[in-house]
Amino acid sequence: GSTVGILGGGQLGRMLAMAAARLGYRTIVLDPNPESPAFQVANEAIVAAYDDRKALVQLTSRCDVVTYEFENVPVGPARQSIIGTGLYPPPEALEVAQDRVVEKAFLNGIGIETAPWRAIGSVEELGHALVDIGTDCILKTRRFGYDGKGQANIRREGPVSDAFESLGAKPCILEGKVPFVYEASLIAARGQAGDIKAYDPADNEHSLGILRRSSVPGRVSATVADAMRKTGAAILDKLTYVGVIGVEFFVRADDTILVNEIAPRVHNSGHWTEAACAVSQFEQHIRAVCGLPLGDPVRHSNCVMENLIGDEVRKSESLMGESDLVLHLYGKSEVRAGRKMGHFTRLTAMS
Ligand code: ATP
Ligand code: MG
Ligand code: MG
């Protein structure tokens, strides 16, 4: 077989399509937005909603394997339409990652620590949960949040109903604020035979809820890296996962770690792998879902990856003059505030 179907045509789908092309695969991308960045590099585009069963069946009939670039693919339609063709990562991973309550329960159920949390369905439940968890909390919608959207801080002043209503009174999760020193992530892959390969963890800085910078190794000590690898492997095995996963962590002052959330896909904090490793996270994902041998995730350089958000993309021409810098632009014609337009990775020698 030689055609890979990709659900989602954003920059992640685009980079997956590029990696697939380099391995000699054809790609078909499905996305409802006709302006999707991935359509520029895919062999074929299907413009359709993710729950359009006819379109999903059409995609399936033309592909040898189907994967996805984002975690909000509707699980029911995908399961019922993508039959007889591999769908990786498994839909069970989607179900876990789509809902912050299911995700936290899954993690705690396999002994992985998270922020203290309560499921919230009403203002009354929010009031009770605040008594349990304390007022230093973040309220998040259970589903569809990204880049810090769908989150509200609980304020001491003002009624607690404000936060709940500001999120549209949707089903929520209340999370205790974790006093972390820094955030880190693990990008790891599991192959069809159950083999696991993990990249070195990244030290991540966010601003306004959006990933700003990932440094490798950054502040991540060998002890913390080891704990992150063990945690990642436990998650991958429990989900009988196939493909690349991103696991976001909080690291406390005593070097203990908690999981913030998991992304059942390639992850922004792994973009540096295209510059500092022989096999990028995108190629690794394509290899895993196509049943090919996984690549060695070893790193040949230290690096810092930075996102180009909104009109920061104007910096790209001056960046082109720098040595040891790998620039990647997503081909998005419209610049919008907060929109990820590209990223770059600066490489430095490993000491
Ligand atoms: P992403 O774009 O990574 O999917 P998201 O919208 O799903 O983001 P989270 O990762 O849950 O949101 O939260 C965004 C950021 O907010 C985190 O990276 C962290 O900086 C902060 N944050 C979230 N939850 C907590 C918490 N319980 N305690 C402390 N900080 C938190
Ligand atoms: Mg998220
Ligand atoms: Mg996150």
The DSSP annotation for 79-107 comes to: HHHS-SSEESS-HHHHHHHH-HHHHHHHH
Ligand 1 probe mutation, 137, 183, 260, most atoms within 8 A of CB: 260
Is 147 annotated as belonging to a binding site?
yes
Average pLDDT score over residue span 16-39: 98
Closest to 9 in 3D by CA, of 334, 345, 344, 331: 331
Q: Whose CA is nearest to atom 2 of ligand 1?
A: 147
pLDDT at 156: 72
Helix 11-22 to helix 281-289 angle (10° resolution) is 70
Q: Which residues line ligand 1 (CB under 6 A)?
A: 115, 138, 145-149, 175, 177-178, 183, 206, 209, 248, 260-261
Q: In sequence order, what are the residues at sequence separation of 6 or more whose Cβ sits closer than 8 angstroms to the Cβ of residue 288?
A: 88, 189, 190, 191, 192, 242, 243, 244, 294
Q: Once rounded to an integer, what is the mean pLDDT over residues 17-28?
A: 98
Annotated ligand binding at 183? The verdict is yes
Averaged pLDDT for residues 10-31: 98
Atom of ligand 1 nearest to the CA of 263: 4
**Which ligand 1 atom is at minimum distance from the Cα of 147?**
2
Q: Which two tokens stand for residue 150?
A: 């769908």
Q: Round to whole Å and give the CA distance between 129 and 57.
A: 44
d(CA 330, CA 312): 13
Per residue in 142-163, pLDDT tens? 999 998 899 998 877 778 889 9
Q: 296: CA distance to ligand 3 center in Å?
A: 26
pLDDT given at position 351: 79
Q: Could you give the CA distance from residue 177 to residue 280 in angstroms, rounded to a whole number?
A: 33
Assembly ipTM? 0.98
Lowest mean per-residue pLDDT among 113-117, 167-171, 198-202:
167-171
User: How far apart, in whole angstroms, are the C-alpha atoms of residue 91 and residue 176?
Assistant: 29
CATH 3.30.470.20 fits 182-348, yes or no: yes
Mean pLDDT for 213-232 is: 98
CA angle 48, 50, 56 (to 5 degrees): 75
**Which fold is adopted by the domain 3-87?**
Rossmann fold (3.40.50)
Ligand 1 geometric centre to CA of 58 (Å): 36
Instruction: Say how far apart CA 328 and CA 339 lie, in whole Å.
Output: 15
Greater pLDDT, 331 or 135: 331
d(CA 13, CA 27): 10
Nearest ligand to the C-alpha of residue 141?
1
**Atom from ligand 1 closest to the CA of residue 176:** 27
Residue 1, pLDDT score: 54
Give the model confidence (pLDDT) of 44-98 as tens digits: 999 999 999 999 999 999 999 999 999 999 999 999 999 989 999 999 999 999 9
For residue 246, the CA-to-ligand 2 centroid distance in Å is 10
Ligand 3 is an ion; its neighbours by CB within 5 Å are: 248
Domain segments of the chain as ranges: 3-87, 116-176, 182-348
Interval between CA 152 and ligand 2 midpoint (Å) = 15
**Calpha distance 241→120 (Å, rounded):** 29
The pLDDT-based confidence of 309 (bands split at 50, 70, 90) is very high
Model pLDDT for residues 226-280, shown as the tens digit of each residue:
999 999 999 999 999 999 999 999 999 999 999 999 999 999 999 999 999 999 9
CATH topology assigned to domain 116-176: Dna Ligase; domain 1 (3.30.1490)
